Structure formats: C-alpha cells, structure tokens
Structure 1
Amino acid sequence: MTLTAEEKVLPEIIAKGDYAVVAITKHGTQLARKIASLFHGSDLYYMKKFEQGDESERGITLFEGSVRLLLPDLFAKYKGLILIISLGAVVRMIAPILKDKKTDPGVVVVDDKGEHVISVLSGHIGGANELAREVAALLGAYPVVTTASDVQKTIPVDLFGRRFGWVWESDEKLTPVSASVVNEEKVAVVQESGEKDWWMYDTPIPDTIHLYSSIKEALAEKPAAALVVTHRQLEREEEDILLNGVLFRPKVLVLGIGCNRGTSAEEIEQVITDTLDGLKVSIKSVKTVATIDLKKDEAGLLEVVKKYQWEFVHYPPEELNKKKIAQPSETVYKFTGAYGVSEPAAMLSSGNDDLLLAKKKSGNVTISVGLITYG
C-alpha cells in the first residue's frame, strides 16, 4: 500500500488520557489549549502551523495535512473526542468510520468561539451527552443535547468534577456506583474540599442524592453508594464508605517551596512526598507549586513540576514581603530580597493565610503547604 504525502507526516497517536481535544483553526487552537489545561485526562492535538513553542513540554501533539486522516486512530484509542471543528465537517469525516454505538467513542463539537458544545455521537452509551455538559460548564457555554430520552438529570460519576481537574483514587467502583446513581438508589456525596458548583443542571439535585460534610455523618445514614471529595487520606474507620464508593481528589493543595541552588529533583520530590504523608493528605490533590522569581529556572524544581503536571507560579520579592509570616529571616532577605519564600508563596497562591503547614526545612528544601478553600 502506497502512502500519500499527507499520510507520511501523520503523528503517532499515543493516548495518555481518555479524551482527545482537537482543533484546526487559530482561534480553535487557543480554545483547545484552554480546555486541555482544565479538563483532566485529555490529550491535545492541533495543526503544526499554530505551533507556540511549548508543545513538547506540555505533551501536545502537532499534525499536518487533513484532520480527517487522524480521526480513525483517535476513534480507536479514546473514550471521547472534543472537536473544535464545524459540525458539518465532523459529520462528513466520521461517517465512513462509524461502527457501532456500543463501541464508537462519544463525540462532541465545540464552535470556534466556545459558545456551544454539541453532543454529536454516542450520546448515552459513549457518554457524549454528559461530556458535552461538562465541557460546556467548563467554558460557560450552552450544551446542545438532542437525544429524546435524555431526561435523567443526575451525576455522571466517571466525569464528576473533571472540569475542575478532580481525579479519582481508583476506578474500581465506578461502574457499581454509576449503577446506584442511575437506578435512583440512596447515594451520598461527601464533600470536604474542592469546588462547590459541580451540579450543572437547572433543576434541583434529585432526592436520592444526599449531601454530607463528613464521612462519619454519611456512614450513619447507610447509603447504597458514595462519592467522596476530599484531599485527606481516609482514616481506617472511614474506609467502609468506599465499599461501594469512589474517592475523588480535588486540586486544592499549594506547595510553597524554597531550595538551595542545584538541589536535585529527587531530594525535592522526597521532601514533598514525606511532607504530604506526614500531613495525611493526597499528592493527587496538589494543584500548584509556588516559589520566588529567583527559582523560576531551578532545574530540579522544574523537573518535579513537569513530572506531576502541576501549575508553577513564582513571585517577586516585594510581592512575597506583603505577607506577614511568623519568622521573617534576615539571612533569606540578604540573598533573595524576601523575608521568606515558601510560606508567603503558599499564602499568595492558595489565597489562604491559614496554612496546613507553615514551614518545614529538610536538607536543601523548605516547604509550606496551603489549602485552597471555596465558599
């Protein structure tokens, strides 16, 4: 079989997430970058002519030629496709590769301005209806769902909180918990942290879904299933909630970090994991690493941030000095111009001066831990 010139330049498709975000226009590319940065578990694809220089670092795949040639591979390897391409073009391109509603991925289309998100294919079984709603909620767009029987407005367990970056601890109970939700059994939602605006319908939460602020309170009510949203490691007596439950990790932790120049990634990572274990919180709930501008090019720190795909922010000394800290250091000020690094950086990035850990020094690393709270 002879390959065309276009087929010869097609990239190898290596699915790291469950969803592919694809764009083919300049404006669509910017929108796709936004979606992929916020929608956890998605891989990003766009045309090479819109390359911005950070694609390799962010794991973005560039392609040339017609996106039509890319779609068969994407269909085979992803649970859902988020296409920022006109609806008519998508319909024409996917028609020859459709197989069965039980195996085809969910497909949603987003317009170039991000105003509408349309469920196109595999609405129920492929999850496109829920995917459309989640992406629309992320963008502040209008979801377009046309399935006549799609009237059960409830929680899509496998997509719960995904637009906020929430991740589950284990997918073992996704199916039975989803069954409890759709079968209208008594389901507990326990939320200790994370964004509160996860309900995305214009109707009240169903009577079968009960909200609790603690696992102890939920266990006393003996629910059939549970969705637990917390950054904490569960105590042994709380683990029964997961017999038919899914544990979600919201992105609410900020690590303020200072370190000596040349500190290895291994040492920084070890301090982070030891610290979080000591606080009994999950590393999966880390959202951001914050530091001083002087450390924005610190190789070891950047390596750890890249490994875990955390946000990385840095502040000038004068910004850090606006925060009141318990033990300002003249020595740190002499070398950095700031009276502290990890502590004020964690405060600034989390928006919360009440830290889970004010400051701990271990070897070449100083660490503080902040918690992002939502009203």
Structure 2
Amino acid sequence: MKIIELIEGEIPVIEQRGDYAIVAITKHGVEMARDLAQKFPGTDLYYMSKFERGDEEARGIQLFSNSVRMLFPALWPAYKGLIIIISLGAVIRMIAPLLEDKKKDPGVVVVDDRGENVISVLSGHLGGANELAREVAAVMGARPIITTASDVQKTIPVDLFGRRFGWEWDSAEKLTPVSASVVNEERVAVINESGERDWWMHDTPMPPSIKEYATIAEAQADQPQAALVVSHRLLTPEEQSILDNGVLYRPKVIVLGMGCNRGTSTEEIEAVIKETLDELQFSIKSVKALATIELKKDEAGLIAVCEKYGWPFVWYSPEELNQVEISDPSDTVFKFTGAYGVSEPAAKLYAGAGELLLTKKKSGNTTISVGLMPYHEEERA
C-alpha cells in the first residue's frame, strides 16, 4: 500500500476519482469517514497511515503521513468539495493560505469528532457547501449548521440529488444545464420510479416550478424544460427524449441473491450477473447488495465481485433462510447446505420483499435471484 508522504513545501501527488474528498486524522474520525465513504458515492477518502486497516488499497482509500496541513494544497484545486472531520478552528487555520475567490474555492464542510454537527464553512452557495452539509448530515444522522443569511432558495441541488441514499447519475453531461433550469425556476419534472421517497430535504413545500410525475410518459406529455429521472431500469428508445435536458439517477434498489459451486470463478459470477441484469433491462449501477448463505461467506469469487463494484456482501444462516417461504424448496440443496434454498430466500430477506423480479435462474455453476427494495411497493401491487 503506497502512503503519501507529506513534505513541507511540496504539493503531494494524489489520485482524484470523485468530486468530494473526505479527510480524517483521529481514531473516531476515521471510523466515521470510512462509513461515510461507503454511503456517500463520489467521494475519495484520505486518512493518516497509523490507522491503516489493510483494506485501503481494495477500497481506494489513500493514506498519508505527517501533518495533514500539507495535504490541502493538493486537494484544494482537485475537488468540488471537502468534507473534513477535524476541529473547525484547525481547519480554518490550515485552509486560510489557500483562499482565493468564492467563485473558485471548493465548498468546505467540517464535521465534529462525534459526528453531531456538519458545518458549512466556505463557499456556501457558489461552492455548494450548504447543500453538501445538508446531504452529509442526512447520511450521518447529524445536524447541518448553515449560517449564510441568504440561504433561502431551498430547491434541488442537481449534482447532489439523492446522494444521501447512494443515488448516482448515469452521466454528468446534463448536470450544468439542468441545474440552470432548476435555479432559474423553469418547469422541472421529477420522475421517481424506484428510489427512496423522502428525497425532498427542506421544511418548506416544493416550489411550483418543480412537479412530480408517476411515469416518464406522463412527464413527456407535459413537455417540461428539464427532468430528473430516478430509475433502476434501462430506458426505452421512446423514453430517451426525457434526457435531452435531463439527468438519470440510479438508486440502490436491486438485490442479488446468489448461490454457487465452490470455486466458481469471479469471471463466471460477474458474467451471470451482467447477463441477468441485461435480460431484465436493469442497470448494474442500481445494485444495492449481494446476498447468499453463510456457507459461502468465504467464497473468493463472490467476495471479489462485491469488492470490484463496492457492494455489501451479506450472508444468512440456514435457519434464517428456511424461515422464508420460497417457490421450489430443494431437498438436495438442504442436504449440502442445511437450507432449502439460497438465492431466492437470501434476496427476499435483504430486499424485505415478498416477491422477486426474478425468482431463480440456474446458469452454469451459479444460481441467481433478483429482488427490488420495496420503496414503491404499492404502485407495483
């Protein structure tokens, strides 16, 4: 694992992948930072090498040694926002020499070491720190602290929309023009097919310029000037026009239940997943987790696929799986695993859904089931 050695007067070389950097230097801060990085897509995590866990390289975490103050000159021009889990006074002293212009400086938010407050410190509006503070606070269950007197717009931050739930956009191409439509109070459609419902983050009603629609077709008929579409589906050719000035977000709602023979290769497991999602016309970006039986918790192929895509790898005991009603209980599977099924009950358990979108498919050395988190269950009933 390469460690960034910070040297006075030298700007360190970093690997910038996301839009936001998370920085921590204490034991408690590192714990919170690791959890936040898992739940908040588009972030790069940096913390001191003395807290190394051994999984940093696999997770893309960057370690550094010496004073964190010397890291900020590299982070400052690289990121849209910085999430710093260090005391407010220390942060102000460290970033003061870097301040240039509110139109250029990144948004900076500070989180206290107990994770109780998320403070918008710098570039509140132009740098997006106010919205970033709200989104980070929502993920952490903390209190956002916003002090700008003119913080009155209370609308949708297009680039951060749904970030607290793990939503990620398919393409950044239209972020700027759609953001302009929102800010300029043009008619904006929101179509949320499968993501979490409580996405409106303000204590005031949505402005009349923003309107929710049940389907893309309904929104298209109304001819909005911009659109925010939240869906796990691959859009049909007829639906694509909604993205002429629209952003497509992928909510984390798909649950994969899988069983496999011992020693099944990573390549075969990944190929089955991709093939299955293509058949269902679902986006792999919307996968929430992969679930299986406890017997497979050390299965190298399953672990490798989850690490590659950043999916939680979840397993259940045979007793837990046997409590779930399934379509085709197997005595053969029970003989070898102690459970009457693996992929189907595992997917149902994690998704919290009574029905699956794909009950069970056998392919080569694998069995796969696909469930959907029931945020919109009543619409599908």
Give TM-score scaled by structure 2 length. Answer: 0.94
Contact 1:45-1:62 at 8 Å conserved across structures: yes
**How big is the shift at 1:48?**
2.3
- Code of the aligned partner of 1:169: D
> Do residues 195 (structure 1) and 196 (structure 2) align?
yes
Structure 2 CA distance, aligned partners of 1:238 and 1:214?
A: 10
Kept after mapping to 2: 8 A contact 1:296/1:314: yes
Structure 2 counterpart of 1:108:
109
SS at match of 1:113: coil
Deviation at 1:84, TM superposition (A): 0.7
**How far apart in 2 are the matches of 1:110 and 1:18?**
18
1:226 matched residue in structure 2: 227
Q: Which residue of 2 aligns with 1:208?
A: 209
Higher deviation after alignment, 267-276 or 101-110: 101-110
CA contact (8 A) 1:9 1:63 kept: no
| Counterparts in 2 of 1:92 and 1:332: CA distance versus 1, 3 Å | same
Check if 1:283 corresponds to 2:284: yes
CA contact (8 A) 2:191 2:213 kept: yes
SS of 1:310 mapped into structure 2? coil
Aligned pair 1:349/2:350, yes or no?
A: yes
- Asked if structure 1 preserves the Cα contact closer than 8 Å seen for 2:191 and 2:214, the reply is yes
The within-5 A match list for 1:177-196 is 177-196=178-197
**Which ranges of structure 1 fall in alignment gaps of 5 or more residues?**
none
In the alignment, what sits opposite 1:326?
327
| 1:219-272 deviation per Cα after TM superposition (whole angstroms, max 9, x unaligned) | 111111100001111122111111111100000000001111111111111111
Q: Structure 2 stretches of 5 or more lacking a match?
A: 377-381
Give the Cα–Cα distance (whole angstroms) in 2 for the partners of residues 159 and 209 of structure 1: 16
For 1:75, the equivalent position in structure 2 comes to: 76
- 1:99 CA displacement: 2.2
What amino acid sits opposite 2:25 in the alignment? I
Which whole-Å CA distance do the structure 2 matches of 1:223 and 1:6 have between them?
53
- Paired position in structure 1 for 2:305: 304
- CA shift for structure 1 position 88: 0.8
Matches for 1:151-166 after TM superposition, within 5 Å:
151-166=152-167
Deviates more, 1:141-150 or 1:228-237: 141-150
Distance in structure 2 (CA, Å) of the matches to 1:253 and 1:165:
12
Alpha-carbon contact 1:355-1:371 (below 8 Å) kept: yes
- Report the Cα offset of residue 64 of structure 1: 2.1
Post-superposition CA distance 1:59-92 (Å, at most 9, x none): 2222222110111111122111000111111110
Q: Deviations over 1:324-347 (max 9, x none)?
A: 111111111111111111111101
1:148 alignment partner in structure 2: 149
Offset at residue 56 of structure 1 (A): 2.8
Equivalent in the alignment of 1:15? 16
* Distance of 2:107 and 2:338 partners within structure 1: 53
Displacement of 1:198 in angstroms is 1.2
Alignment partner, residue 379 of structure 2: none
Provide Cα deviations, 1:167-194, integer angstroms capped at 9, x if missing partner.
1111111111111100011111001111
* TM superposition shift of 1:55: 2.3
Report if the CA contact (8 A) 1:194-1:373 is conserved.
no
Q: Go from structure 1 to structure 2 and tell me whether the alpha carbon gap of 1:68 and 1:192 turns closer, same or farther (over 3 Å shift).
A: same
SS at match of 1:30: helix
Aligned partner of 1:157: which letter? Answer: V
Measure, in 1, the Cα distance between the counterparts of 2:6 and 2:365. Answer: 53
Shift in alpha-carbon separation, 1:308–1:5, aligned structure 2, 3 A: closer
Mapped contact 2:232–2:282 kept (Cα < 8 A): yes
Q: Distance between the aligned counterparts of 2:69 and 2:214, measured in 1?
A: 48
Does structure 2 conserve the Cα–Cα contact (< 8 Å) formed by 1:293 and 1:315? yes
Q: Conserved in 2, the CA contact under 8 Å of 1:11 and 1:62?
A: no
Q: 1:101 touches 1:122 (CA, 8 Å); kept in 2?
A: yes
What CA distance in whole angstroms lies between the structure 1 residues aligned with 2:147 and 2:10? 37
- Report the residue type matching 2:53 in the other structure: Q
Cα displacement (A) at 1:9 = 12
Letter of the structure 2 residue corresponding to residue 312 of structure 1: F
Counterpart of 1:153, as a letter, is K
1:190 partner SS: strand
Counterparts of 1:140 and 1:272, CA distance in 2? 33
Q: Aligned with 2:239: secondary structure?
A: helix
Equivalent residue, structure 2, for 1:121:
122
| In 1, Cα distance between equivalents of 2:60 and 2:194 | 29
Aligned to 1:31: 32
The verdict on how the C-alpha distance between 1:9 and 1:351 changes in structure 2, with shifts beyond 3 A counting, is farther
Q: Which moved more, 1:57-66 or 1:111-120?
A: 57-66
Question: CA contact under 8 A between 1:10 and 1:64: conserved in structure 2?
Answer: no
Aligned residues: 372
Q: 1:349–1:8: structure 2 CA closer, same or farther, 3 Å change rule?
A: farther
User: Partner residue of 1:258?
Assistant: 259
Corresponding position of 2:89: 88
In structure 2, the CA distance between the partners of 1:301 and 1:221, relative to structure 1 (3 Å rule), is same
Instruction: State the distance in 2 between where 1:110 and 1:322 align.
Output: 42
SS of the aligned residue for 2:186 comes to coil
Deviation at 1:12, TM superposition (A): 4.2
How far is the alpha carbon of 1:129 from its aligned partner?
1.3
- C-alpha offsets along residues 36-75 of structure 1, whole Å, 9 cap, x if unaligned? 1111111111222333343233222222221101111111
Task: State the distance in 2 between where 1:182 and 1:172 align.
Answer: 17
2-structure distance, mates of 1:360, 1:11: 50
Which runs of structure 1 show a deviation greater than 3 angstroms over 4 or more consecutive aligned residues?
Answer: 4-12
Shift of 1:7: 5.3
SS of corresponding position for 1:236: coil
Calculate the aligned-residue CA RMSD, in Å: 1.8
